[in-house]
Chains A and B, each alone.
Chain A
């Protein structure tokens, strides 16, 4: 592919008998904010360390701007890393930490001073240069790590779960800041995280990994709205699964599926199917509407079911309802509160409710054998 800056070709990595990476291929474009997302142990950090030069791939190639990186040692790659624990040098001041790469190049003092100041300003720490890392807060340490990694003007910045040590509020804040810095300097970011929220909110593209393999690559929108496998659907956000059998191919885009305990439901048809196929259908809980009364004039494009509320979890901005349809079937439904208690009758435990959703929002993630 033309225009790609980082190319990973069939990279494999084994530690002893354990295969951490089983042939991974990626194309990352110049200037992209690219996330590697997956549960712990999926190989995302190993892949990042291979790009950084801390690990050698057992097989495969890592190209940067068309140049093979594998024989080049970490210190000579135009790539810098932000470590999970920041890895600031405890014996050096903030200024000297950021200046470290420039000192190695033996640049004149005045140049170092100007440049360090410029980068400390970029991360909004213009006055903390004299402090030692131990005197900084977690968020400040993170900023120093960012300044230090950027001062060499790398063509790729690698971020290894950079926000995992911060508390939730600060994480959100730093994420926005990272995004701003990315927009400002325009270099390629490769971001490793297990937090789908982080990956979705800042990435241009996301590669979802599991057990040493890439399971799906796409924009955050694609990953969330059209997962291609049950793993992705389940890992990114919450979802309802239900297994049934195809009974009728209605038209080009619709398929009717019969589910035990529920009956017939219409789903979006985006893959070849035939009558009798056993399928796994998914529907996101926030796409389902819920009420004690069935609204009038619903279009036939909506699936309507009824059940009993098994459990209600109130969490401020929304409530989660577990609606039981039968012995073995339960739906999770999220309801956003717009004007709670004001817009309609409250839904309580054991209430009989109706749930409905547009057929378009339910789709098939897996086709099994008949």
Chain B
């Protein structure tokens, strides 16, 4: 008898997903097959593949490669930083304190934090002034408005998303396994590589998905502190949507981006079967966020 109410319980979620995920995505897909209204921009409700053929363009291809490259470099840096951090946190007596430290940045708005970084890295910023006052530099160093600044800020922004899933897997790891490996003749490094890493693979997978996807869909960071060399797909979409007003093109690019990311995630998960269902669910949520951001 109790089972009868089952479908009722999922109704709120169904409504939520339909309203905020399925419908917007459908609109984007629909718009991508429409014709661009000339001159003023917007759409004419008339079928066209023009928006897709326009994507076959060396410039867009180059930007896509660049986006992929920046996302990859950022992800590698984040994982490399997050594993030792999460390991230390999990073994520390002050776990909860460190968790709090990781979460604290979320209490401040994302854009405000980026502007804070500009105050630090700017030509007349804190860092340049500090370096000049101790006589290390004569003129300022150009920290901002290049691809390195984009990578730095991407790493800064999404690092907690790498630390948290890694922390939760490492915390469950049985550290006596490392002692067993040492006991059986492994050096500290071998024990880490052959025992720790395979056993926290689920956490690494989740961390990669959580960081790569938002880094790939990056828009605000390159917009504010990037230059032409760090122009990313997210920026193209935003420009086509707001400046050029080529809505079909913005939509087709979003559709391709979302499809590629989804395929990539599925492929990646296939290679990492140990990734838990929980990780998959969280990855789907992250992907949804990314899809929405690209759509906005």
Residues from chain A with a CB closer than 8 A to the CB of B199 are 89-91
A123 interfacial contact with B, CB 8 Å: no
Residues from chain B with a CB closer than 8 A to the CB of A105 are 185
A89-B195, A104-B190 in contact; A81/B183 too (CB < 8 A)?
yes
B125 interfacial contact with A, CB 8 Å: no
Q: How far is the CA of A83 from the CA of B199 in the complex (A)?
A: 19
Residues from chain B with a CB closer than 8 A to the CB of A148 are 184
Q: Most chain-B Cβ atoms within 10 A of its Cβ — which of A76, A90, A105? A: A90
Residues from chain B with a CB closer than 8 A to the CB of A54 are 179, 182-183
Min C-beta distance of A222 to chain B, whole Å: 32
Interface contact B176-A83, CB-CB below 8 Å: yes
A89-B195, A90-B199, A104-B190 in contact; A74/B182 too (CB < 8 A)?
yes
Interface contact B183-A75, CB-CB below 8 Å: yes
Interface contact A101-B185, CB-CB below 8 Å: yes
Q: How far is the CA of A149 from the CA of B174 in the complex (A)?
A: 18
Residues from chain B with a CB closer than 8 A to the CB of A104 are 184-186, 190
Residues from chain B with a CB closer than 8 A to the CB of A83 are 176, 179-180
Docked complex: B164-220 residues within 8 A CB-CB of A = 174, 176-177, 179-187, 190, 195, 198-199
Among B174, B187, B190, the residue within 8 A (CB) of A87 is B174
Residues from chain B with a CB closer than 8 A to the CB of A53 are 182-183
Taking CB as reference atom, which chain B residue is nearest A87?
Answer: B180
Q: How far is the CA of A79 from the CA of B184 in the complex (A)?
A: 9
A100 interfacial contact with B, CB 8 Å: yes
Give B246-285 as 1s and 0s: 1 = Cβ < 8 Å from A's Cβ atoms.
Answer: 0000000000000000000000000000000000000000
Residues from chain B with a CB closer than 8 A to the CB of A80 are 183-184
Residues from chain B with a CB closer than 8 A to the CB of A73 are 182
A36 interfacial contact with B, CB 8 Å: no
A89-B177, A90-B199 in contact; A74/B183 too (CB < 8 A)?
yes
Among A52, A87, A152, the residue within 8 A (CB) of B177 is A87
Residues from chain A with a CB closer than 8 A to the CB of B183 are 52-54, 74-75, 79-81, 149
Give A71-104 as 1s and 0s: 1 = Cβ < 8 Å from B's Cβ atoms.
Answer: 0011110011101010111110000000011001
Among B176, B190, B198, the residue within 8 A (CB) of A91 is B198
Q: How far is the CA of A80 from the CA of B183 in the complex (A)?
A: 6
Q: How far is the CA of A54 from the CA of B186 in the complex (A)?
A: 13
A89-B195, A90-B199, A91-B198 in contact; A152/B184 too (CB < 8 A)?
yes
Interface contact A75-B182, CB-CB below 8 Å: yes
Q: Most chain-A Cβ atoms within 10 A of its Cβ — which of B176, B185, B190? A: B185
Q: How far is the CA of A281 from the CA of B156 in the complex (A)?
A: 73
Taking CB as reference atom, which chain A residue is nearest B184?
Answer: A101
Q: How far is the CA of A53 from the CA of B186 in the complex (A)?
A: 13
A75-B182, A75-B185, A100-B184 in contact; A85/B176 too (CB < 8 A)?
yes
Q: How far is the CA of A101 from the CA of B179 in the complex (A)?
A: 13
Interface contact B185-A152, CB-CB below 8 Å: yes
Interface contact A85-B174, CB-CB below 8 Å: yes
Residues from chain A with a CB closer than 8 A to the CB of B184 are 75, 80, 100-101, 104, 148-149, 152
Q: How far is the CA of A105 from the CA of B186 in the complex (A)?
A: 9
Residues from chain B with a CB closer than 8 A to the CB of A89 are 177, 180-181, 195, 199
Min C-beta distance of A346 to chain B, whole Å: 52
Q: How far is the CA of A54 from the CA of B183 in the complex (A)?
A: 8
Min C-beta distance of A157 to chain B, whole Å: 11
Residues from chain A with a CB closer than 8 A to the CB of B176 are 83, 85, 87
Residues from chain B with a CB closer than 8 A to the CB of A88 are 180
Residues from chain B with a CB closer than 8 A to the CB of A100 are 181, 184, 186
Residues from chain B with a CB closer than 8 A to the CB of A87 are 174, 176-177, 179-180
Q: How far is the CA of A52 from the CA of B184 in the complex (A)?
A: 11
Interface contact B186-A75, CB-CB below 8 Å: yes
Residues from chain A with a CB closer than 8 A to the CB of B185 are 75-76, 101, 104-105, 152
Min C-beta distance of B110 to chain A, whole Å: 37
Q: How far is the CA of A149 from the CA of B181 in the complex (A)?
A: 10
Docked complex: A127-155 residues within 8 A CB-CB of B = 148-149, 152
Taking CB as reference atom, which chain A residue is nearest B187?
Answer: A75
Min C-beta distance of A70 to chain B, whole Å: 16
Residues from chain A with a CB closer than 8 A to the CB of B186 are 75, 100, 104
Q: How far is the CA of A55 from the CA of B181 in the complex (A)?
A: 15
Residues from chain A with a CB closer than 8 A to the CB of B180 are 81, 83, 87-89
Q: How far is the CA of A76 from the CA of B185 in the complex (A)?
A: 6
Min C-beta distance of A319 to chain B, whole Å: 43
Q: How far is the CA of A52 from the CA of B176 in the complex (A)?
A: 13
Residues from chain B with a CB closer than 8 A to the CB of A149 are 183-184
Min C-beta distance of A48 to chain B, whole Å: 11
Q: How far is the CA of A104 from the CA of B186 in the complex (A)?
A: 7
Q: How far is the CA of A75 from the CA of B195 in the complex (A)?
A: 15
Residues from chain B with a CB closer than 8 A to the CB of A152 are 184-185
Report 29 cross-chain contacts, Cβ distance below 8 Å, ordered by A residue.
A52-B179, A52-B183, A53-B182, A54-B179, A73-B182, A74-B179, A74-B182, A79-B183, A80-B184, A81-B180, A83-B176, A83-B180, A85-B174, A87-B176, A87-B177, A88-B180, A89-B181, A89-B195, A89-B199, A90-B177, A90-B199, A91-B198, A91-B199, A100-B186, A101-B184, A104-B184, A149-B183, A152-B184, A152-B185
The 9 closest A-B pairs by CB, nearest first: A87-B180, A101-B184, A91-B198, A74-B182, A87-B176, A81-B183, A104-B185, A75-B182, A75-B185
Given pairs A74-B179, A79-B183, A91-B199, 9 additional interface contacts (CB within 8 A)? A52-B183, A75-B187, A80-B183, A87-B179, A89-B181, A90-B199, A100-B186, A104-B185, A152-B184
